Structure 1
Amino acid sequence: MKKDNPIINEIKRNNDKFIKDDLIPFLQIPSVTKNKDGINEAIKFIKSYISQFSDKVIQFQGKINPLILSKVKGNTDRFLLIYMMYDTQPVKDLENWIAPPFEAKSKTLPTLPKLGECIIARGAYNSKTPLLSFLNTIKILKDDDDLPFSLYLIIDGEEEMGSPSFPQFLKKYENTFINCKDAYYPALKQDIEGTAVLKLGYKGILSLKIDMFTDNEDVHSSYSNVVSNPAIDLVKLINFLYSDEKISVPSLSKNYELKTEDEKLIEVLSNKKNIEKIKKKARIKQIITQESKDFFIKYLFDPTFNLSTLKSGYMNNGIKNSVPNFSTCNIDIRFAHKIPFNTIFNELKEKIYDFSKNISSNVKINKNVGYGSSKVSKDSVMVKSLINSFKEMNVSTELWPISAASSPLNILKNQLGINYITGGLGIAGNAHTANEFVQVDSIINTRLGYYYFFKKYQENYKTDK
């Protein structure tokens, strides 16, 4: 593939203009999921942008915000499904930012000076830079009549809230996507050293809320021997559900069965001693295990039981010695096992029902969000296309067997049987925290990488067939 072709030349020629006139104005829109004004402004921006090359744009009203569906005609009738998101996390730690989060100023990060100038903005990494960079690459290809295949674009406005409308959206348009074999989520996935990180799947998740309560008012603690205490009962229930690092449901009682491919990739990751890199990125100072292989198996494949919120009783200033009448907690369970999340939820409900027979407090359990795990083979067209596109940019790839995180896109695999993967070039970081950034000099590689992905996917698809 010649590197002086007109598309590559155009991407390079207009990179500074793209950053100044397109990307920075987009990053300046405060499209926090629950900021209706910012969301509406972002929708207007996106619809105006894609109208330059899209054949059809549909706005689907979700439970919180709209999702956008767009059809883009390429040079063949084969379709690739593209998922992106325009909403962002809120800003909770403004005092820790080195620049206002919605001004998209270029700064040098004190903690990473070797990266040079970085755009500091909420959404710079997750995920407005890859969204607009990908859309811009499509526009350039369409202007040159060189888009090799057709696209369906899904642009989500609820991702940061767990994409609650995504299952209903897919159900409504499942016939539209019936001929899509694969789905791609453009992202910025180079580490600080420049290696492209590609994860071959995501864990599933079940997030739930448990309330424990009585009909009493808050009463004086002198009555604690003769009335129920929902806080104590909830702690007992949590210990009943999770003890000795085991979740007490049948479906997760057995260890995940590692495939040969998983073991080989874990061996490579273990030998590279990536634990310190993971700790640094996640701002972790203490971990449970120091043995490298054991760390990666626990991190990637063992199910997690996380108690993210636990509340009860008097929480204002001073002391109030009373028996609370209400206690609540949020729990999230992540799993690599190939199990429907509803199976886990139903097993937990049964366990909780059995436990409730032995207490006088009332119990209520609510499911917040849930979806199963997903995996894609390293020999799939999607994975080979991304790796080959990275090679065109002289970038090496680090393969992970699965991500420890979860993704709403697992629903694509679970509900429609569509393989999907997240990946792309670009150096960025600090998602969900202060000083979210994208390295300015890496944005050109992001856009060129997407161009090469289009070409490599076309080549590999033909070979695979």
Structure 2
Amino acid sequence: MPEREEKAFLVSGVTIPVVELLSELQEKRQRTVDRTELRQGILARVYDRIDSDFPKHLERCRAFLRQKSVSATGDGIRETAQQVKSFIEEIGGNAAFWGNPAFPIVWGRVKGESDRTLIIYGMYDVQPADEPNWMSPPFEAAIHTLPHIGECVIARGAYNSKGVLCGLFNSLKTLVETDKIPVNLIFVIEGEEEVGSLQIEEFIRTHRDELKADAAADFDFSQDSRGRVRMHLGLKGIVYMDLICRGGKKGGPAETSLHGADSAWLSSPAWRLVHALSSLTDSEENIIIRGFCDNVAPPSAQDMESLEKLKTSFDEKVFLKEMRGICFKCNRQGIDLLVKGLYSPIININGFRTGYDGPGTKTLLPRKATAKVDIRFGPKMEPEEVVEKFKAHLFSTGFDDIEVRVRDSYTWSKTDVSESVVQDMLAAYRSLDVEPEVWPIATWTAPYFVFSRILGLPVVGGGLGHGGRAHAANEYMTVSGLRDFEKFVVTFLHLAAASQKGVAATPNGS
């Protein structure tokens, strides 16, 4: 009998038997952190320095939050970009602006002690703050005590995500003042995330050769109101569009809005748009566009394993409470609820505008109605496919006169739990006595795809700290959570620096 050919991998020009390579990889994955050793030496000094300097750190974050940076209007964007550039330069880095000078991407780099390199993604823009019922002005960054939560900074961007960004640079400044930054860092901080990250894909493709790294990271306040961490390994994609229905050949006023009594004779563009929107989903908001969900990928075996673990700690009541909800939109529980919420595409109506909405009364047959809609989708679906099927549905159901304007879009991202940077972040949580919930994908979106699917890097996001009410009145971050977040950042960076570089292997043999 001929000898069985042993499979091997070619690594850096050397052929290594697969058994030996797998053994080495297994040892890397089984790295554990000695908590006693971790809290000694440099990290202990950094933690102490964060504690002693924390009043200054908090005030620096509050000052940063007072600076407006509303990307929808451009208010304060350039000034905030300059502050971010100064943050990078303050820790010994080089930084520059790229792209649209009114909404520049701030990018730069800092040399660390190890040969590992992380790309740090972030955002410095925020949503408008025109909601009523703020307990203090949204750009005052006042401190309030919230019931059952504690002392909090109330401000637009406190949670999403300028509080996080300033906390990150507080951590890095402390590292520089106490020792050194342990890992090479490349910063990509944008000012258009809230309006669709319009320049970041071009930036990444243009600078591909200058963005060679081992992984990418995005920090966040990831603890819920119970203190439990949600760590997401993927994000959905999104298409954001305007739908516009005007009077004309399909009925309705052709030139201008008319008296409401004329609706006895002419159809209403407002009703027509309502009917078009109602054709998209059923009563539980399941998408009923023909063929729309054909390419929806179900949870993988690894995802199901994560969900089985997650269901033991997932508290539906707490989850609803944090969303200010009373009941879920579908009658499901446990793992069925998680699968439905995380893997089904959704269509959301962000706003609907038509006719008269001022004080008093005014009878009107409006000439135009508009709706702002976003569609979120997971793996295997792509933005082009989503738009094509959406438009085909309107055409086939007789709503071909409704104009579709795609405002922005980007695709999904997914990272394997076995990636070393994911394991480093898990180890950072555990070294600080926190066991995170691992969510295989999230329903929110960010342009992680530029790192995972263009640069081919694993992407991880997370951090200690708690905040809430993003995009709403009384957005907040907890004061104590900011301190915990800063300690988490330095812990993670030290673990990432100590982690061995991943090995790029190509099969050699049958």
Q: Which TM-score applies when normalising by structure 1?
A: 0.89
Shift of 1:35: 6.0
Aligned counterparts of 1:421 and 1:33: Cα–Cα separation in 2: 25
1:284-330 C-alpha deviation (Å, 9 max, x unpaired): 11323242232212211111112222333344455555543222212
Q: Which one of the candidate residues 211, 214, 221 is aligned to 2:244? A: 211
2:340 pairs, out of 274, 298, 305, with 298
Q: Give the alignment of 1:160-309 within 5 angstroms.
A: 160-177=194-211, 179-215=212-248, 216=254, 217-219=256-258, 224=263, 227-243=266-282, 245-253=286-294, 256-288=297-329, 289-309=331-351
| Pair 239,431 (structure 1): closer, same or farther in 2 beyond 3 Å | closer
The answer as to 2:82 corresponding to 1:44 is yes
Q: How far apart, in 1, do the equivalents of 2:101 and 2:412 lie?
A: 24
Match of 1:435 in 2: 474
The DSSP-based 3-state class of the residue aligned with 1:152 is strand
Contact 2:295 2:380 in 1 (8 A): no
Q: Could you tell me which residue of structure 2 aligns to residue 27 of structure 1?
A: 65
> 3-state DSSP class of the match of 1:124?
coil
Same amino acid, percent of matched pairs = 27
Q: Deviations over 1:44-70 (max 9, x none)?
A: 322222212344211124385221001
* Pair 1:106-2:143 in alignment: yes
Are 1:64 and 1:158, in contact at CA under 8 Å, matched by a contact in 2? no
Deviations 1:330-386 (A, max 9, x none): 22111113222111112222333344xx46x83311101211111111111121111
Q: Distance in 2 between matches of 1:227 and 1:35?
A: 37
Contact 2:467–2:476 (CA under 8 A) maintained in structure 1? yes
Larger Rg: 2
Q: Spell out, residue by residue over 1:147-175, the C-alpha distance to the aligned partner (whole angstroms, 9 max, x if none).
A: 33311101111222222222222232222
- Provide the alpha-carbon RMSD of the alignment: 2.7
Are residue 58 (structure 1) and residue 96 (structure 2) matched?
A: yes
Unaligned runs of 5+ in 2: 1-36, 249-253, 505-510
Q: Is the 8 A contact 1:69 1:155 kept in 2?
A: yes
TM-score normalised by L of structure 2 = 0.81
Distance change in 2, residues 1:318/1:124 (3 Å): closer
User: CA 1:10/1:382 → structure 2, altered by over 3 Å: closer, same or farther?
Assistant: closer
Number of residue pairs the alignment of both structures matches = 457
Give runs of aligned pairs for residues 9-24 of structure 1, distance below 5 A.
Answer: 9-13=45-49, 14-20=52-58, 22-24=60-62
**Distance in 2, Cα, partners of 1:170 & 1:186:** 19
For 1:366 and 1:373, the matched residues in 2 are separated by: 21
CA distance in structure 2 between the partners assigned to 1:89 and 1:105 by the alignment: 18
CA contact under 8 A between 1:311 and 1:327: conserved in structure 2? yes
Contact 2:246-2:367 at 8 Å conserved across structures? yes
Aligned to 2:76, the other structure's residue is in SS state: helix
More moved, 158-167 vs 65-74: 158-167
Distance in 2 between the 1:392 and 1:151 partners?
Answer: 22
Whether the 8 Å contact between 1:15 and 1:444 is mirrored in structure 2 is no
1:384/1:460 contact within 8 Å kept: no
Within the alignment, does 1:4 sit opposite 2:40 as a pair? yes
The structure-2 alpha-carbon separation of the partners of 1:461 and 1:252, relative to structure 1 and needing over 3 Å to count, comes to farther
Amino acid at match of 2:401: N
**Paired residue type of 1:415:** I
Unaligned stretches of 5+ residues in structure 1: none
**Equivalent position of 1:79 in the other structure:** 117
Q: Report if the CA contact (8 A) 2:88-2:94 is conserved.
A: no
CA pair 304-444 structure 1, distance change in 2 beyond 3 A: same
1:286 maps to a residue whose letter is C
Letter of the 1:86 counterpart: Y
CA contact (8 A) 2:232 2:461 kept: yes
For residues 472 and 433 of structure 2, the distance between their equivalents in structure 1, rounded to whole angstroms, comes to 31
Matched-pair contact (CA < 8 Å) for 1:7–1:141:
no
- The answer on whether the counterparts of 1:247 and 1:305 sit within 8 Å (CA) in structure 2 is no
